[in-house]
């Protein structure tokens, strides 16, 4: 049974947007593998691991930034997929069947100002 993550690689980016919109650090963190890497784009920083990813999201929210999903294409090979949309992401299916981000590179400009 999936307790965190997504049922499909395509669903993962939309769940990331949802977690950003409601500012749910726990839900956001559970979308990433334990040793995942997040690069939130130009002139920011690269963070590793769920705890640091959650802290980075909180910092983005403090600056009134949110993420807008734009899934365009997913290329899947077994339990690994490349997701192209609001960024370039490597996602993997875990032993529990859930898909999570292993590497998430958010395109500059995809972190929108909150309205």
CATH for 102: 3.10.450.50
74 versus 1: which is more confidently predicted?
74
Q: Answer yes or no: is 1 within a domain.
A: no
Q: Answer yes or no: is 4 within a domain.
A: no
Query: In which band, very low, low, confident or very high, does the pLDDT at 87 lie, cut at 50, 70 and 90?
Result: confident
Question: Model-level pTM?
Answer: 0.85
Containing domain of residue 93, as a range? Answer: 9-108
Counted domains in the chain: 1
Position of tokens 């929108």?
A: 112
pLDDT at 67 over 80: no
Q: Answer yes or no: is 89 within a domain.
A: yes
Backbone φ and ψ of 98, nearest 5°: -85, 145
| Interatomic CA distance for residues 15 and 18, integer angstroms | 5
């Amino acid at each position: 049974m999936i307790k965190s993550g997504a049922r499909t690689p395509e669903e993962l980016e939309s769940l990331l947007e949802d977690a950003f919109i409601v500012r749910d650090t726990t839900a956001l963190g559970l979308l990433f593998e334990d040793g995942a890497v997040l690069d939130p784009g130009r002139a920011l920083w690269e963070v590793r691991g769920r705890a640091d990813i959650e802290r980075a999201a909180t910092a983005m929210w403090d600056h009134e930034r949110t993420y807008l999903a734009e899934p365009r294409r997913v290329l899947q090979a077994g339990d690994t997929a490349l997701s192209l949309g609001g960024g370039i992401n490597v996602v993997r299916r875990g032993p529990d069947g859930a898909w999570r981000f292993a590497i998430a590179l958010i395109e500059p400009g995809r972190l929108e100002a909150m309205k």
